[in-house]
């Protein structure tokens, strides 16, 4: 009886009859995707595309998937698979080189799975989250299992983050924004299976968009003042308006102008 209930539950979830605003995540394992066909699914709101893994691995289909999915009118974001074998700085450099911040519609995802980590090294996780936020202008979403959430992330400092929880048997019993409910979804335009996810009823796609304000903020990198030459940073002189001379017995005071400075 329990098996039968799970079977019907899975059929309803895969059909999309119960829940709108579904999403998928893809990588090279889905091979060449026909994004025009995929975009015809009216319940499909967003796509996460694998960009990188660890310090050196790049997904060979990333550029194609990102470009074609956006051209088809879907909201697209990128994810990085965390590895405990390399530093946060090395992994961030790999992700940043692949992922242009002006081509992201939704917040980046840091994918943390036990299979890739003998030990998590939470200091590295925290640093990588920090670096991604600074570069892309928004806190990354954390993808993980319900077990890892309970043992590592169920503390106060992670409350501001969105969580993307994988559970293929039931709805997560922990706080989540997105729920990856199956690895065996079927979608026209994609050969084989694809991961499907849906929102917690408290959230929708607007909650994970990179806002115009965030994007603008992420792009303001010392606009008028700095340029790098080799390893040195040279500050350009910002032209100043000459003070208007007034007929007075006193000399005008000089005015100094402070340099302007400025988020996986």
Could you give the residue numbers annotated as active site? 113
- Are 160 and 171 contacting, i.e. CB atoms less than 8 angstroms apart? no
Task: Give the H or E element holding residue 62.
Answer: helix 62-71
The CA distances from residue 173 to 14, 27, 177, 182, in Å, are 21, 28, 12, 16
- Are 225 and 55 contacting, i.e. CB atoms less than 8 angstroms apart? no
Region of 73 on the Ramachandran plot (φ > 0 left; ψ -120 to 50 alpha; else beta): left
| The two structure tokens encoding residue 128 | 């990588």
- Are 196 and 24 contacting, i.e. CB atoms less than 8 angstroms apart? yes
- Which contacts (CB < 8 Å, 24+ apart) does range 59-68 have? 59/27, 59/28, 60/28, 61/26, 61/27, 61/28, 61/30, 61/31, 61/32, 61/33, 62/98, 64/32, 65/26, 65/33, 65/35, 66/103, 68/33, 68/35
- Are 180 and 149 contacting, i.e. CB atoms less than 8 angstroms apart? no
Compute how many other C-beta atoms are within 10 angstroms of the C-beta atom of residue 89. Answer: 13
**80 in helix, strand or coil?**
strand
Give, as one character, the DSSP assignment of residue 41.
-
């Amino acid at each position: 009886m329990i098996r039968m209930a799970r079977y019907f539950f899975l059929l309803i979830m895969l059909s999309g009859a119960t829940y709108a605003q579904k999403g998928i995540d893809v990588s090279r394992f889905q091979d060449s995707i026909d994004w025009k066909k995929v975009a015809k699914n009216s319940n499909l709101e967003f796509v996460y595309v694998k960009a990188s893994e660890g310090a050196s691995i790049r997904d060979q289909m990333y550029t194609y998937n990102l470009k074609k999915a956006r051209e088809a009118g879907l909201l697209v974001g990128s994810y990085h698979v965390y590895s405990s074998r390399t530093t946060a700085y090395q992994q961030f450099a790999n992700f940043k080189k692949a992922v242009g911040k002006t081509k992201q519609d939704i917040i980046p995802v840091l994918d943390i799975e036990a299979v890739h980590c003998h030990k998590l090294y939470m200091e590295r996780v925290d640093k990588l989250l920090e670096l991604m936020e600074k570069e892309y202008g928004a806190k990354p979403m954390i993808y993980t299992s319900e077990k890892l959430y309970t043992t590592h992330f169920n503390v106060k400092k992670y409350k501001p983050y969105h969580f993307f929880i994988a559970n293929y048997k039931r709805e997560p019993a922990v706080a989540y924004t997105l729920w990856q409910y199956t690895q065996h979804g079927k979608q026209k335009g994609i050969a084989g299976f694809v991961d499907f996810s849906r929102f917690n009823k408290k959230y929708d796609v607007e909650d994970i968009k990179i806002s115009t304000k965030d994007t603008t903020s992420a792009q303001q990198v010392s606009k008028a003042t700095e340029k790098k030459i080799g390893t040195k940073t040279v500050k350009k002189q910002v032209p100043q308006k000459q003070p208007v001379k007034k007929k007075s017995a006193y000399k005008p005071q000089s005015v100094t102008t402070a340099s302007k400075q400025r988020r996986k």
